[in-house]
C-alpha cells in the first residue's frame, strides 16, 4: 500500500494500518507533518514553525511495516499500479491519494506574483517576515504615504483562515508592534480583510457570522464585504472603485486540488478535486482512493463535504478500514461524515463556534477553540510548546517569534 501525502488524512490512514498485515509506504514532499490550523499563528509571530511541525519519522516510530520516503507525487498509472514521485516510481497494490490542495488564484491578475498564500510553513514564514520587515522599513521611511503603505496589511478571503489571520495581525499591531516601534505612529497601521461575498465564514450560522465581524471590527480590522479583487499590482490591491496601497498581501480566498496526473483521468470538480465514490475510491480504479481536501464527495444534500481536518481524519480511518476489509474478504463501508462542528478564533477572548447544535461566541467559544486545537496536535512536545507560547502571549501581551529569518534588508538607510 502506498499513501501520497502526510497531512491529517494520509497520516491517520497509515497510523491505523501500521500494525496490520500490510506493508505501507508513505510519501510526502516534507519530512514533517504540519498542524495546518495553526499556520496563521506562525504567520502572525505567535508560534514558531517547530511548534506546529513534527518529524514524520518520529510520529511513525514503532511501526515495523511502515516505510517513509521524501518525495513529491507526480503521476499515477492506475492500470500498471505505479505511482511516480520525485524519489522514483513506486508500485502499489492499494493507493491512497492525500496530497491536499494549493492556493487558488481564480485566474486573477497579479495574485501569483504579489500575494502570499498560507498553505505551508514556508508561506507562513514569508507572511511574518514581510510584515516585520516592512515595519522595520517604515521606521526609517521619511515619506508619509510610503510609510502608510508599508504598515498596511491586507488579508483576502473571509473564511476561517482569513478571519483568524486578520484578527491575529490586529492583535500583533496593538500589543506588540506598538511597543517595538515607539518612533512610529502604529495606530495608523491598517489591517484590512477583504471578502468577495456579502458575509464572512460562509459555513457558519448567520448569527455567528455577524458576531465574528463585530469582533474583528472591535479589534480595528477594516472588513470589506462584497468586494471582489479585480487585480493585484506591486504594492496595490484593486477593488471595484478603490485601490488600496499595501505592502503585505495574504491570499487565503480559496484552494484548488493539488496537481497530479492520473491515468485514466478521473472526474474532477471545478476546483480540480478528485471526485470519489461513496467508499472513497476513484471511479474506475477500485484500489485507488482519494481522501481529505483533494477528494470531492457530495453529502446527502448534494453539498461537498467541507475541507476540514476532521473530515480528512474520518476519511483516513475509513480508507484504512476498507483496505483491511478487502484483505479479509468483507464488503467495504461507505463514508458517513460525523459533523463535530466548526469554530474560528478572532483574537484574545474572541471566537465563534457552532458545536453540538449550539452557537457560542466570545470567551466560551475561545476556550473551546483553545482546548480542541491543543488536544488535536499530534505530539506531546508540540502541545507543551504551543501551550507555553499561548500562556506567555496571553500573560505578557507578547509574541515570541519576531525574528526576521530571510536575507532581505530591513531598512532603507544607506550603510554608514
Residues 6+ apart with CB under 8 A from 144: none
Q: Indicate if 319 and 214 belong to the same structural domain.
A: no
pLDDT in the model for residue 408: 64
**Of 195, 229, 253, the domain-final residue:** 253
Residues β-bridged to residue 358: 355
- State residue 409's pLDDT score: 55
Other Cβ atoms closer than 10 A to 302: 6
Let me know whether 192 and 209 are in one domain. yes
Q: Are strands 231-233 and 236-239 parallel, antiparallel or unpaired?
A: antiparallel
Q: What domain count does the chain have? A: 2
Residue 178, in any domain of the structure: yes
Please state, as a whole number, how many other Cβ atoms lie within 10 Å of the Cβ of residue 265: 10
127 with 51, same domain: the answer is: no
**All 3 cell numbers of residue 393?**
502571549
Residues 249 and 135 in one domain: yes
Q: Which domain holds residue 63?
A: 2-103+255-328
Residues 137 and 9 in one domain: no
61 and 87 share one domain: yes
> Residue 249: which residues within 8 A CB-CB, separation 6 or more?
114, 115, 116, 154, 156, 232, 237
| Domain CATH code at residue 10 | 3.50.50.100
Three-class SS of residue 243?
A: strand
Question: What does R_g of the chain's alpha carbons equal in angstroms?
Answer: 22
pTM for the model: 0.94
Report if residue 379 sits inside a domain: no
**CATH number of the CATH domain containing 121:** 3.50.50.60
Among 29, 16, 13, 14, smallest CA distance to 67 is for: 14
Q: At which residue does the C-alpha cell 500573560 appear?
A: 395
Residue 59 lies in a domain: yes
Question: Residue written as cell 484593486?
Answer: 238
The reply to whether 164 belongs to the active site is: yes
Instruction: Write out the chain's pLDDT in tens, 416 residues.
Output: 999 999 999 999 999 998 788 999 999 999 999 999 999 999 999 999 999 999 999 999 978 899 999 999 999 999 999 999 999 999 999 999 999 999 999 999 999 999 999 999 999 999 999 999 999 999 999 999 999 999 999 999 999 999 999 999 999 999 999 999 999 999 999 999 999 999 999 999 999 999 999 999 999 999 999 999 999 999 999 999 999 999 999 999 999 999 999 999 999 999 999 999 999 999 999 999 999 999 999 988 899 999 999 999 999 999 999 999 999 999 999 999 999 899 999 999 999 999 989 999 999 999 999 999 999 998 999 999 999 999 998 988 888 788 998 876 544 443 33
Structure-block grid coordinates of residue 26: 508513505
Which residue out of 141, 164, 171, 195 is catalytically annotated? 164
C-alpha distances out from residue 15 to 56, 291, 380, Å:
11, 15, 17
Position 384 in a domain: no
Statement to judge: residues 61 and 176 lie in one domain: no
Beta partners for 199?
Answer: none
Give me the pLDDT at residue 62, please: 79
Q: At which of 192, 226, 253 does a domain end?
A: 253
Predicted confidence at residue 206, as pLDDT, reads 97
- For residues 268 and 235, state if they share a domain: no
249 DSSP assignment: E
Chain centre distance of CA 1 = 27
At residue 410, the 3 state secondary structure works out as: coil
Amino acid at each position: 500500500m502506498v499513501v501520497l501525502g502526510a497531512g491529517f488524512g494520509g497520516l491517520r490512514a497509515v497510523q491505523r494500518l501500521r500494525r496490520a498485515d500490510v506493508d505501507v509506504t508513505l510519501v510526502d514532499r516534507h519530512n514533517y507533518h504540519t498542524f495546518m490550523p495553526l499556520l496563521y499563528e506562525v504567520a502572525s509571530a505567535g508560534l514558531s514553525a517547530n511548534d506546529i511541525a513534527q518529524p514524520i519519522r518520529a510520529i511513525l516510530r514503532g511501526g515495523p511495516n511502515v516505510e517513509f520516503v521524501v518525495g513529491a507525487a507526480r503521476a499515477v498509472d492506475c492500470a500498471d499500479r505505479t505511482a511516480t514521485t520525485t524519489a522514483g516510481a513506486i508500485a502499489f497494490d492499494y493507493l491512497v491519494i492525500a496530497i491536499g490542495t494549493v492556493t487558488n488564484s481564480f485566474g486573477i491578475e497579479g495574485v501569483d506574483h504579489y500575494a502570499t498564500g498560507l498553505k505551508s510553513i514556508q508561506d507562513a514564514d514569508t507572511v511574518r517576515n514581510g510584515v516585520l520587515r516592512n515595519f522595520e522599513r517604515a521606521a526609517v521611511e521619511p515619506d508619509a504615504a510610503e510609510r502608510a503603505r508599508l504598515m498596511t496589511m491586507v488579508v483576502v478571503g473571509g473564511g476561517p483562515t482569513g478571519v483568524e489571520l486578520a484578527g491575529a495581525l490586529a492583535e500583533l499591531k496593538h500589543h506588540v508592534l506598538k511597543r517595538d516601534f515607539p518612533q512610529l505612529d502604529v495606530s495608523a497601521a491598517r489591517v484590512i480583510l477583504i471578502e468577495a461575498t456579502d458575509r464572512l465564514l460562509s459555513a457558519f450560522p448567520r448569527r455567528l457570522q455577524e458576531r465574528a465581524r463585530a469582533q474583528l471590527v472591535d479589534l480595528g480590522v477594516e472588513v470589506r464585504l462584497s468586494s471582489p479583487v479585480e487585480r493585484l499590482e506591486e504594492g496595490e490591491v484593486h477593488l471595484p472603485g478603490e485601490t488600496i496601497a499595501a505592502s503585505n498581501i495574504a491570499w487565503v480566498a480559496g484552494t484548488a486540488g493539488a496537481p497530479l496526473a492520473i491515468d485514466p483521468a478521473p472526474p474532477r470538480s471545478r476546483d480540480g478535486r478528485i471526485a470519489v465514490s461513496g467508499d472513497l475510491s476513484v471511479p474506475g480504479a477500485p484500489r485507488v482512493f482519494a481522501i481529505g481536501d483533494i477528494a470531492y464527495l457530495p453529502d446527502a444534500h448534494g453539498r461537498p463535504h467541507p475541507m476540514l481536518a476532521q473530515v480528512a481524519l474520518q476519511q483516513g480511518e475509513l480508507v484504512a478500514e476498507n483496505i483491511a476489509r478487502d484483505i479479509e474478504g468483507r464488503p467495504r463501508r461507505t463514508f458517513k461524515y460525523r459533523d463535530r462542528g466548526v469554530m474560528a478564533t478572532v483574537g484574545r477572548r474572541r471566537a465563534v463556534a457552532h458545536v453540538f447544535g449550539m452557537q457560542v461566541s466570545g470567551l466560551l467559544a475561545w476556550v473551546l477553540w483553545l482546548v480542541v486545537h491543543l488536544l488535536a496536535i499530534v505530539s506531546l512536545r508540540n502541545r507543551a510548546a504551543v501551550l507555553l507560547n499561548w500562556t506567555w502571549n496571553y500573560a505578557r501581551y507578547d509574541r515570541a517569534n519576531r525574528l526576521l529569518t530571510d536575507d532581505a534588508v530591513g531598512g532603507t538607510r544607506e550603510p554608514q
